[in-house]
Amino acid sequence: MRMMQSYTPRDWALLILRVGLGITLIVHGLPKFSGAGPVAFARYLRVHHFPAPLFSAWIMAVVELVGGIAMVAGIQTTYVGWAAAVERVFVVWLLKIAGHVRFVSARGTGWELDFLLFCMAVAVAMLGAGAVTLENVVRSRRTT
């Protein structure tokens, strides 16, 4: 007889948090690999005086796309959460604040979304993935 694992409200809340953060990261990371890829994004970073623009473009693209996929699946969420949080700090500090962008801007270019993503990433990094992860689902199917 197959036993269904019981998940707590905390597990479901962490799943919602992870999926929301992960999908947002994927949506922001995917364009960095399309067209000319990170090289085109590096040009944008160079114009805004971002340090090591090509290296930074690759790191940001990988953190967002690969990290987003891992976040949704619940794989290595502590590391991905901290990487995403650090990335958001650099984006806000070196692009938004350095460009005199306000927290909320009338043009929709504020950094309130970056702040929200930072908070979500830190929460997942500190709390972990919870029990509802791809790894746990696969493991539970193997043992039954």
**Phi and psi of 107, rounded to 5°?**
-90, 0
Q: What is the mean pLDDT of each run of 10 residues along the chain (144 residues)?
A: 71 97 97 91 94 96 98 96 98 92 85 96 97 84 70
The pLDDT value given to residue 4: 56
Handedness of CA 16, 71, 111, 105 (dihedral sign): negative
The pLDDT value given to residue 1: 35
- What amino acid occupies position 132? V
Structure tokens at 107: 């043009």
Furthest-apart CA pair in the chain: how many Å? Answer: 62
- What are the sequence ranges of the domains in the chain? 9-138
The pLDDT value given to residue 141: 74
The pLDDT value given to residue 57: 97
